[in-house]
Each structure stands twice: as C-alpha cells, then as structure tokens.
Amino acid sequence: MNTDRFMLGVPSSKRTVAASLVVLAAMLVVPFVTTSYYTGLAMTALVFLMLGVSWNLLAGYAGQISLGHAAFFGLGAYVAAWLTTPSAAGLPAIPFPLSHPVVALVLGGVGAALVALVTGPVMFRLRGHYFAIGTLALAAIIRLILTDQRSISGGSTGYYLNAGMGEIPTYLLTVVVAALATIGVYLVVNSRLGLGMRAIHDDETAASGLGVDPLRYKMYAFLISAFVAGLAGAAYALNSLYINPTSTLAVTWTVDTLVIVILGGMGTVAGPLFGTVIFMIIDNGLASVLGGLATTVEGIIIILVVIFLPNGIYGYLKSYVAQRREGDTATSS
C-alpha cells in the first residue's frame, strides 16, 4: 500500500474526490448556464487557482517565498501571445502546431520554467528573505525589459491576440488545464520529490545531513511552480485576448496570489482552492457592496485571518474536524 506514504496534511478520502468532481463539473457547465460575466469571473478564479497552486508548491511546501511570480505569469502570457499572434510582435509566421492555442498555452508554461531554470541557481544562492527580495528584483527586471521592448510587448498600447478558438472552448481548456495542474501538484507533493521539498521547508540543515540536496529540490519546486504560473498567464492571455506589460507583469498578481494561499492555508493542497473562492467573494462581493471602501475592508479581513487563523481557513477547518473526531473517539471509548 503506497497511498498513505507521504499523506500528512493531505485529504485523500472518497468524499474529497467526490467533492472535487462536483466542483469540476460545475466549472465545466458555467458558460452554458450563466452569462458571460460569470464565465469571466470563473475564468479569473481558475487563473488565480493556478497561481495559488503554483506559489503554494514553492512557498508552502519547499519553503521558498517568491515575490516574483508575476514575472512567470507575464512570461507565460507573452509566450502565448507571440506564438498565436506573431505578426503583432513583428515575428515571422509560426508553423501550425506551435501556433495552436493549446500548444501555445503549454509552451507558455515551458517558457516560464526555462527562465526559472536559468535564474534558479543564482536565486537560490540567496536564502530566506534574500531569496524573496531576489525574486522581486528578477520580476522587476523582466517587467522593465518587456515594457521597454515595445515592438515585442506592445508597450502600453498592449498586444491583441488572435487566438481564434472561441470564448467557450478557451474557457473549457482553462478548466481542464487548471484541474490537471492542481492534480499534478498534488501528485508531486505526495511523491519523493514532495518529501524532499517538505524536509527542506522544515529544516534545510537537517535535511542535507540526511542526504537531501537542497538546491536540487528547491530547483524542482521552482521549475514546476514557474511552469504552472506560466500556464496561468497563458490561459489569462488566451481568455482575455488583450495583454500589456502592466496588466500581466504587475506585482498585484503576486500579492493577490499570496493573499489567496495565506487565506486558504499554506502547505495544504486544498488551501489554494479555498483561498481562491474566498478571495473571489471578497474581491468582487465587497466591491459591489462597499464600493471604494472594499480594498480597506479586504486588507482588514486578511490581517484578521493572519492573526487569528495562522494556518489559513482550510488549516483551521482541518484542525477543527480533527478535534471533533478526537472528541468523538474519546467519548465513545
């Protein structure tokens, strides 16, 4: 039996699987039963889910706080734009399989992962807060370069994509990719790779004394995380069909991602899911009720969660359920 090998903090019951399938089915029918406004919201939620899953793997599991995720997101968006609509960047025509939106989306992830592959060994010379600052600087540099290179990024005028897959198919593709990314990261977390990452997260010195090569497992986390963030960016570009350096590389993407994972619960697979739902409700619900005050109230809610529910909302629910169970077994025995 290999199932509970690495399972601490990971839900694995049939009920969880059933609930996930229901959510997945609901997401798939959204464009057929609601308006395009709600489909747009659902698309945004999926993009945030992918970003949350991505950041959570690196920070929540491998313990490496990145403040540069907007860079991977933006790169993914631009790679998808260049491949599907090369003429807008003055690029020669891209042959068919590469220019197809599905391939472009995957390559958006690959492009982001390549940047992680090249920059990771340098970034990971920095530890803790310095790594965080390093990634922030990396993102700033990438943003500067793209903003500066108007011919390939569209500058502030932006970049119009001509992806030609239609609104609903693109949305459905996003649902599938988000689900696969979530499942993929779930499998990684529960594998040998995940064990190495979690050991480093808890104590890098102890881990390396037991044979874990810290750089190697940080790099695995960085690559996979960048890949998923790139997918999110590419999905965003293909859905919105218009991007510019500010809209895709702005630090707000990183901040919102942090908020989602911290609200939901770092280092848990369900955390980003819960965080995304709560974030979407707060972000959109509050704005419609409170108008200009929404951001302030949002900030207060986040501070309260961090103070009173340091393990996030999913973390709180999990320990609440565990306590109830313990109480039950104690009274029944």
Partner 1 sequence: MSLLNCNGVTKRFGGVVALDDVSFEVERGETVGLIGPNGAGKSTLFKVITGSHAPTEGSVHYDGTDITGWSPHDICHEGLVKTHQIVRPFENLSIHQNVEVGAEFGGRRPENVEERAYEALEFVGLDERAHETPTELSVGALKRLEIARVLATDPGILLFDEVAGGLDPEETEEIVSLIGDIKDRGKTVFLIDHVMRALMNVSERVFVLNNGEFIAKGTPAEIQNDEQVIEAYLGTSAERDEGPTRGEA
User: Could you list the residues that contact partner 1 (CB under 8 A)?
Assistant: 2, 5-6, 8-9, 192, 195-196, 198-199, 201-203, 205-214, 267
Least distance (Å) between residue 318 CB and partner 1: 13
CB of residue 128 vs partner 1: minimum separation in angstroms?
Answer: 17
Query: What's the min distance (Å) between Cβ of 264 and partner 1?
Result: 16
* Comparison of 62 and 71: residue with beta carbon closer to partner 1: 62
Q: Which of residues 64 and 174 has its CB atom nearest to partner 1 in the complex?
A: 64
The pair of three-digit structure tokens given for residue 216, joined into one six-digit string: 């190697």
Q: Of 101 and 265, which has the nearer Cβ to partner 1? A: 265
Distance between CA atoms of residues 263 and 111, nearest Å: 29
Residues 229-262, buried b or exposed e (16+ Cβ, 10 A)? bbbbbbbbbbbbbebbbebbbbbebbebbbbbbb
Nearer to partner 1, 288 or 329 (CB): 329
CB of 326 to partner 1, least distance (A): 12
Q: Which is nearer to partner 1, 5 or 325 (CB)?
A: 5
DSSP string, 71-123: HHHHHHHHHHHHHH-GGGGTPPPPPHHHHSHHHHHHHHHHHHHHHHHHHHHHH
DSSP symbol at 243? E
Closest to 161 in 3D by CA, of 171, 173, 153, 172: 153
Q: How far is the CB of 265 from partner 1 (least distance, A)?
A: 12
